[in-house]
Amino acid sequence: MLVKEAMNKHVKTIRPTNTVREASEVMNENHIGSLVVVSGTGGVVGIITETDVLRSVAAGQNPTETKVQDIMSTKLITIEPYRTLEDAAEIMTKNNIKKLPVVEDNGRLVGIITTSDLIAYESTLIETISTLLVRSPKVFGG
């Protein structure tokens, strides 16, 4: 299966100049753990996660004064929509990340794929295969 078939196309974004408080409010309202950070021209410039917010607060930074650009991850790892879910899982594992922005060749953000999306896909695959096995018990010589 391709990334574009499993990704979430409704990516929540934020600007680098927004505050950490604003970012945490958007994450809380949408029940999500990250926001993709985009520039004024729409280019992807980073990602801010709930872990980034927690580290900032624990370090004593004021969330109403600290800007997203001060705590976001800028070493952004992305994937293209035509890559496979296996590719996505390998990239996530290799880089120890749980969220992977999906960008087209021109750098335009088109989605995000998360470990939860991969797990949901795997569950669907297992359910589909088990249905096939129930309908066709002779697959195993029965």
Please state the domain extents for the chain: 3-137
Q: What is the mean pLDDT of residues 6-35?
A: 96
- 3-137: which CATH topology? CBS-domain (3.10.580)
pTM, full prediction = 0.80
Q: Which residue has the higher pLDDT, 106 or 136?
A: 106
Amino acid at 84: T
pLDDT one-digit tens code per residue, 112-123: 999 888 888 776
The angle, 0 to 180 degrees and rounded to 10, between the axes of the packed helices 85-95 and 115-135 is 140
What CA–CA distance (Å, rounded) separates 89 from 95? 10
In angstroms, the CA 51 to CA 84 distance is 27
Is residue 69 predicted with pLDDT exceeding 90? yes
